[in-house]
Structure 1
Amino acid sequence: MKMLNLKPLFVASAVLLASGFALQAQAEDESQLIKRGEYLSRLGDCMACHSLPGKPDFAGGLAIESNLGTIYATNITPDKTHGIGNYSEQQFSDAVRKGILPDGSRLYPAMPYPAYAKISDEDLHALYVYFMKGVQPSAEQVPETKLSFPFSQRWGMRFWNWAFTAEKPFQPIGGASAEVNRGAYIVESLGHCGSCHTPRGFAMNEEALDSSNAAFLAGGSLNNWEVPSLRGLPRWSEQEIVDYLQTGRNDKAATGGEMKAVVEHSSSHMTDADLKAIAAYLKFLGGNPPLQAYDMQAAQVTEAKLTAAKNLTEGERLYLDNCGACHFVSGKGAPGIFPELDQATIVNAKDPAGLIHTILQGAQQPSTAKAPSTLAMPGFGQRLNDEEVAQLATFVRQGWSNNAPAVTPAQVAEVRKSLKHGE
């Protein structure tokens, strides 16, 4: 009787089994890459600029107001006609890190490629896999960006990039801890915090791109709001920095302006470890002295006068009528709920536009996983005229231990005008 040779069958089965395991492992690896890329997209805050309410994620269309004009965020879904579905990984890298599209045209630095240039190769690869395989394609066509001459000449960005960007990877800080360097990597690259918090030069360039320059994160201006320095944050503990980024509020402050979207779409999704690393890095920077010495006697005088409610100035009366219920006669608000006004950065800013904007239009805290409630401050633009807003803002800026210049009705009128034009 002739014996069957089963060896080839066993070999073939082993090969098929090994191939199956290999394919499963490959699928698991890709799944992990997609998950990692999704998290990195949160670190990079891609959602905030490239998504609109009621539209598919990353389908673009957001109107970004700049000193050059209105720039529309692009569709970055893997749609092959209206999105980035035809990009190779190198083309994706060039767009993200250098601001260069596949056809050779140049992006405006509303896309923060000067910071994204520091993204590591590994993180860039994970982002590419996520956007190509983890994002749903959308055929949404966004409005074309049309700036006036000479800003319409995108080829000129080649010279701007040569003068004001540095295409080099992230450089760890020598002698700093691993935690501080992790925070530095997030802040300087994906987080692109310098885009708003670093002063800009005559050509709208960031004056510094990393912590080697004391101008980095030293404060700036965005859409007529004075943006505070992040260097050291002397009034906040590391935990208060974490709380603010995670929930949009802490015992001293609450988010406002553009920062609300950052918390909502980006920092509230970060891991505790990454938030602590960011806080450690910002405290490590230092170099930012306290806003001013706390004047306890002046604070007590204001509190006592508001409590007595006699012989009030117009600004003090307006404060009690409109603000006192939440921020109290002490100006200290309620920890984690209503922000402090005494010594608050937005109150004492050199340019009062941010404070005026908040009084006129109000503010709303974002809903996050750790703080789902959406506490809102009403706007008083319909209730108070320019003179009254100026009186109220002046009192807040000069009450308690605050010591900032008075606000004029003309300044209020200017902010009110910008709100009517949707700026």
Structure 2
Amino acid sequence: MTELTKRGIAIFGGGYIGLVTGACFAELGHRVVVRDIDPEKVRILRSGDVPIYEPGLGDLIAQNKERLTFTLDSAEAIHEAEVAYVCVDTPPTPSGDADLSRVWDVVDTLRDAAHLKAVVVKSTVPVGTGTRVRAALDEAGLGHVAYASNPEFTAEGTAVRDFMRPDRVVIGTDDPATARLLGELHHGVDGPVETMDVHSAEMVKLASNALLATKISFINEIATVCEATGADIRQVARAVGMDHRLGPHFLAAGLGYGGSCFPKDSRALRALASNSGYPFQLLGSVIAVNELQPRRAVQRLKAELGGSLKGRRIAVLGMTFKAHTDDMREAPATVIAARLLAEGAEVHCWDPMGRPDPEAQPWSSARRLPTPVEAVAGADAAIIATEWPQLTEVDWAAAGDAMRRPLLLDGRGLLDARTLAERGFTVMGVGRATVRP
């Protein structure tokens, strides 16, 4: 990257998206200041540590410390910036709509930033938000400052790679000069740039996540039919995924999706449709299937244990919504643990990275153990809720000997059921027959 193309960038929001965006832009050669409102988070970042677990992110921040700084001060963040990125979270409200209060807080702080060339929203927002932000900038006398939508498509666990080698970079703007500016910012990113109007760019993110969620719920429904008919979901999904029109991605039956994006964005799109007078029935069914999936697992385990979980010790292996992250938001394991406790079970759990709030239910009532074998010791059953690769390295013979009853519900299809059965386990899966010793 030449000196002329290096830009000053202000990132508002130091969460998963803001930190990855800031670190990757610094890697591309830009001067980046990340502003967050949490003093402890900023202190940790300034000390050289990273407050979240994301593979490769810590190294990237360390490598670019000369171009990447962190602050609590909005004025410091925008002082030398040409472009301001809004990367704050937009959590769901009780109605399912996106809470845009943090977005508007950032917009308010930019009212005196007349030197900016563009304000770019990367946060996931409802279609039409850009129009409202544009009006607010105009009202503040910033009509000369461009506005654009640049939604993120990074997945936790692979976020750095997803930013640097994306399937596409979506830029929403009607201004060719702004499109060129943002394209220049992404020079060095290995992926095609798709430029479109702001409304369409806002919809792309919601539509993408809703479609991925639909694939997950669909294959989980097929898995339920497989359980009833004797078919094996693994063989079915593999053959279905070989169809080039469908592809193999997101066809792994399991306990349902979680995290900060799919649940929130699916509900937000459903709310957006409802607010526009359209009942998005398909998406409503997708959400309902996903909410039922971890509850079905608990009910199947209850039936296998004779119809009651009261007094039973159950081990939950994995607490994060997916492997290679410490994010526990909307994790199926949280629903599973809550249902087990409600049924009167004692819950032991293990996860190498998850960091639950010790005062939050259900984890305040669960006992966390340092290893999977310790977590299953004395248990009547165990549930694999997250596909951590460490679980493939467990001495399952020793784990079975330590359990009161060697019963495993593999909610992620991680282990070979027949091998475990040879070691004395009864193995329940999703979408396949129970394998017994």
TM-score tier by shorter-chain length is 0.3 to 0.5
For normalisation by structure 1, the TM-score amounts to 0.32
Higher strand share: 2
What is the TM-score with the length of structure 2 in the denominator?
0.31
Return the index of the structure with the highest Cα Rg. 1
